[in-house]
C-alpha cells in the first residue's frame, strides 16, 4: 500500500512571518515559525534529507578517511610561520559561535532599519540552522566517539573510535587514561556551524554568501591546522551544515512572493 504524501501546510508559517508585530514579540514569533517551517520541510522531504546526511557521513568515513593520511601534517608544514599559525588559531577560535554572531546580528539589524522582512527572517534562518546543526553534530560526536588527532598524537595512538560515550568518563589504554571528552572529533562542530551560517546567505545572496563561504572554509581548515580534527571530520561537518540550511531558499522565496506580486501589480 502506497502511503499518501504528507500535506504541505508550511504556508501558515509564511503568513505568520508576514504579520506586523512589535519588535520584541516579533523575535520570538519569527524564531517559532522559522523553526516550524524548517521542521515541516524535513518531515516532507525526510527521505531526501536522510539520504544527503547518509552520503555525507558515509562519504567522510569510507571515501575521505582512507586517504586523509598525513593531511594535517601537510597543512601544518605548508602553511607554517607566525602569520599562518596566528591566523589558524584566530579562525579556529572564532569559528564555533563568533562567526555566526557577527553575521546574524548585522543581518537582523539591516532588516530592522530597512524594514525588510527578508533580511530579518534570513537572520533567524541562520540562527535556526546553526542551533539545529550544532545539536545534530553533538549527537554524532557522542555517538561515534572519535579521538581527536591532537590527543592521538600526544599518546602515540592510531585513529580511534570508541563508539557511544554517553556514560563513560574515561577510557583506559596501554598508553594511558584518556577523558571521554577527548573523543569528540567526528564530525567537526566548528565546520558545521560555519557552513550553517554561510550557506543560508549563499542561497539567498550568492555574492555575499560566496565571501562568507570562503570564511567558512578557512575556519574548517584551521581546525586541521590546529590538529583538532581530521579531514573527514570537516567533510561530515560541511555536509551537515549545508543540509540543515536547505529549507532557507524555499522559505525566503515564499516570503518574498507577495511583495514581488505587489511590485509587479504597480508597474
> Has residue 1 got a pLDDT over 50?
no
Q: How confident is the model at residue 7 (pLDDT cuts 50, 70, 90)?
A: low
Strands 170-173 and 176-179: antiparallel
- Nine-digit cell at 211? 565571501
Tell me if 156 is assigned to some domain.
no
Decide: helix, strand or coil at residue 215.
helix
- pLDDT over 90 for what percent of the chain? 74
Q: What's the pLDDT at 267? A: 41
Q: DSSP of 41-82, one letter per residue?
A: HHHHTHHHHHHHHHHHHHHIIIIIHHHHTTHHHHHHHHT-SH
Tell me if 27 is assigned to some domain.
no
Contacts 24+ apart (CB under 8 A), 44-50: 44/5, 44/6, 44/8, 44/10, 49/243, 49/246
Q: How confident is the model at residue 8 (pLDDT cuts 50, 70, 90)?
A: confident
Closest by alpha carbon to 129, among 107, 105, 100, 106?
A: 100
Show Cβ contacts of residue 118 under 8 Å, excluding neighbours closer than 6 positions: 111, 204, 252, 255, 256
Tell me if 28 is assigned to some domain.
no
Q: How far apart are CA 61 and CA 265, in angstroms?
A: 53
Q: How far apart are CA 224 and CA 73, in angstroms?
A: 9
Q: Are 164 and 141 in contact (CB under 8 A)?
A: no
Q: What is the pLDDT of residues 89-103, one digit of tens each?
A: 999 998 878 999 999
Residue 99 phi, psi (nearest 5): -60, -45
Tell me if 19 is assigned to some domain.
no
Tell me if 69 is assigned to some domain.
no
Q: How confident is the model at residue 255 (pLDDT cuts 50, 70, 90)?
A: very high
- Nine-digit cell at 190? 566548528
Q: Are 145 and 164 in contact (CB under 8 A)?
A: yes
Q: What is the pLDDT of residues 126-171, one digit of tens each?
A: 999 999 999 999 999 999 999 999 999 998 899 999 989 887 788 8
- Nine-digit cell at 246? 536547505
Q: What is the pLDDT of residues 166-198, one digit of tens each?
A: 877 888 888 888 888 889 999 999 999 999 999
> Has residue 2 got a pLDDT over 90?
no
Q: How far apart are CA 198 and CA 244, in angstroms?
A: 12
Tell me if 57 is assigned to some domain.
no
Count structural domains, the chain: 1
Tell me if 126 is assigned to some domain.
yes
Mean pLDDT of the 221-243 span: 97
Domain that holds residue 225: 84-145+188-255
Tell me if 263 is assigned to some domain.
no
Q: How confident is the model at residue 266 (pLDDT cuts 50, 70, 90)?
A: very low
Amino acid at each position: 500500500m502506497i502511503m499518501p504524501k504528507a500535506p504541505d501546510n508550511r504556508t501558515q508559517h509564511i503568513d505568520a512571518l508576514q504579520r506586523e508585530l512589535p519588535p520584541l514579540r516579533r523575535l520570538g514569533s519569527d524564531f517559532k515559525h522559522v523553526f516550524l517551517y524548517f521542521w515541516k520541510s524535513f518531515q516532507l522531504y525526510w527521505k531526501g534529507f536522510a539520504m544527503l546526511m547518509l552520503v555525507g557521513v558515509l562519504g567522510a568515513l569510507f571515501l575521505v578517511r582512507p586517504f586523509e593520511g598525513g593531511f594535517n601534517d601537510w597543512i601544518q608544514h605548508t602553511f607554517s610561520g607566525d602569520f599562518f599559525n596566528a591566523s589558524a588559531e584566530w579562525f579556529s577560535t572564532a569559528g564555533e559561535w563568533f562567526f555566526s554572531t557577527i553575521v546574524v546580528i548585522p543581518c537582523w539589524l539591516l532588516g530592522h532599519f530597512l524594514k525588510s522582512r527578508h533580511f530579518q527572517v534570513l537572520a533567524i534562518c541562520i540562527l535556526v540552522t546553526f542551533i539545529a546543526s550544532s545539536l545534530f553534530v553533538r549527537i554524532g560526536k557522542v555517538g561515534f566517539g572519535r579521538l581527536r588527532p591532537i590527543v592521538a598524537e600526544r599518546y602515540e595512538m592510531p585513529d580511534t573510535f570508541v563508539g557511544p560515550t554517553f556514560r563513560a568518563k574515561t577510557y583506559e589504554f596501554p598508553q594511558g587514561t584518556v577523558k571521554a571528552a577527548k573523543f569528540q572529533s567526528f564530525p567537526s562542530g566548528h565546520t558545521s556551524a560555519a557552513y550553517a551560517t554561510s550557506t543560508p546567505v549563499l542561497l539567498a545572496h550568492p555574492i555575499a554568501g560566496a565571501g562568507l563561504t570562503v570564511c567558512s572554509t578557512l575556519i574548517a581548515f584551521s581546525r586541521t591546522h590546529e590538529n583538532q580534527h581530521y579531514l573527514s571530520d570537516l567533510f561530515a561537518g560541511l555536509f551537515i551544515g549545508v543540509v540543515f540550511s536547505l529549507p532557507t531558499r524555499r522559505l525566503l522565496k515564499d516570503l518574498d512572493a507577495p511583495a514581488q506580486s505587489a511590485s509587479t501589480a504597480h508597474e
